């Protein structure tokens, strides 16, 4: 079945440093969605990418969808302590399949 791999599992950065998480699907996706889950919270939808090669920005967050629509990345520029949490990608083939998530910790 469809699998979505996400790396790294964990990243601990100094405040102000950049952060990137990568997502790779075993199958071509119709779209990919990104969610953020704060510690003890629930997944909150961030963005959806649909088109091959698409790049979207939300303030310090940059999201990319690969040309083959099988991989994606989320890049945070100049992390802040408010960025802490787990970032999940979710591949939408015929159902939403979540990656394992990347836990981001930011040291001030």
Partner 1 sequence: EPEVTQTPSHQVTQMGQEVILRCVPISNHLYFYWYRQILGQKVEFLVSFYNNEISEKSEIFDDQFSVERPDGSNFTLKIRSTKLEDSAMYFCASSYGGGRTDTQYFGPGTRLTVL
Residues that bind partner 1 (CB under 8 A): 30-31, 33, 35, 41-45, 48, 50, 88, 90, 92-101
Closer to partner 1 by Cβ: residue 38 or 57: 38
Check: CB of residue 97 under 8 Å from CB of residue 3.
Answer: yes
Residue that has been written with the tokens 């990243």 in this structure:
11
Least spacing, CB of residue 19 vs partner 1, in Å: 19
Closer to partner 1 by Cβ: residue 3 or 80: 3
Per DSSP, which regions of the chain are E strands?
A: 4-7, 10-14, 19-25, 31-37, 44-49, 55-58, 61-65, 71-76, 85-92, 96-98, 102-107
Least spacing, CB of residue 82 vs partner 1, in Å: 19
Closer to partner 1 by Cβ: residue 17 or 100: 100
Residue that has been written with the tokens 């405040």 in this structure:
15
Least spacing, CB of residue 5 vs partner 1, in Å: 11
Closer to partner 1 by Cβ: residue 42 or 59: 42
Least spacing, CB of residue 16 vs partner 1, in Å: 28
């Amino acid at each position: 079945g469809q699998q979505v791999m996400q790396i790294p599992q964990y990243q601990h950065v100094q405040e102000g440093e950049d952060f990137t998480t990568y997502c790779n699907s075993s199958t071509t996706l119709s779209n990919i969605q990104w969610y953020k889950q704060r510690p003890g919270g629930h997944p909150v939808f961030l963005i959806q990418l649909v088109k091959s090669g698409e790049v979207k920005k939300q303030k310090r967050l940059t999201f990319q969808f690969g040309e083959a629509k099988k991989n994606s990345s989320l890049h945070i520029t100049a992390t802040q302590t408010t960025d802490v949490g787990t970032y999940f990608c979710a591949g939408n083939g015929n159902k939403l399949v979540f990656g394992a998530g990347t836990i981001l910790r930011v040291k001030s």
